Structure 1
Amino acid sequence: MKKSITYLVLLTAFFGLLAGCSSARKLKQENTIVKNEVQKNDSIKNTVINQAIDDKLITPIVQSKTGNAVFDSLVNAKVDEILSKLNTSKNSGDNSYKLIYDRLTKQLEFYAKIAQTKNENTAVKNEKAKTIIQVKKIPVVVEKPLSKLEKFFIGLGILAVVYIGFKVIGFIRKKTSVWG
């Protein structure tokens, strides 16, 4: 009877020791990662190069000839005065223009220089979009405080280990004793 109570106490202490050692639980958390990938294939590059333009336009200005010399000289003088005010020129990089009125030759002259232009177009064919969804499980340690029952079982387990230790030492002494 005494041995069965001892075994019962030892068995209870053993289970208490097992329950007490598993106080921290690991839970798993799921994280979802979404990746979008776009694959581009078969690109076509089209380059158009326009050559430079160097242009010149000369327009003769017709003189007034109405038969009235006084009227014609007044009209022609006023036209010369107005067209002389049109003289202008602009430069920007390789581009330029110039507009001048030549009184001696009675001509309106326009000079233009336009630099070379370059246009590039890229066309992409077979564009594929792919969405990848990954679910990863990341371990997260969640610690909870020990309950009173778990603390009791831990204490009981320690007492059981100490008791078994004394019993084993006593058994070894008994077997190795000379006076036995």
Structure 2
Amino acid sequence: MKKSVLQFCKILLIISAMFFASVSCKSSIATPLQEPIVIHHDTKNTNTEKETINQPINNNTVIPVIASNTNNSVFDSLVNSKVDEILNKLNYKNQSGDNSLEVKYNALLKELQILSKIGKTSSKATSKNDKETIEVPVIKQVPYPVIQPLTKLQKLLIALGVGFAGFYTIKYGLKLVSIVKGSTLWG
């Protein structure tokens, strides 16, 4: 009986060794998993200013006054003298800040002069854009365990171990049962 119990213990030792060897063959490797792209929306206020500066303008316009010529000297002199008299009263001057306008008649040169001065100007144009959406793609990597499939050699060793263990378990189990039935303990 001692011999059969000793053989049964050997079989259990071999089976447990094969079981632990097959379990230790499994390997899990953590590899990163890419989640779908997540879009974050950020809003920000954008204000743009544009400043335009114009240089000062000095403008001088001369309009010649043509004398009357109708072949009637009395009529021509009367018309020309009245035109000079009216245009001499036309002298005008206006000043507003850097801007000015002057209209004067030069009787010697028989011309009307218009002098205008426009000062330096600047203008600011502001445009306000309340919301501008900026899309920022973010990729998160989440590790997860990957169980790799067994190789053909590992599968063969497991199959041989299970077959060997099953064969010897049945063989020595039947012997043990026959020994135990023959003993007086089972009645």
TM-score computed with the length of structure 1 as normaliser: 0.47
**Which has the larger Rg?**
2
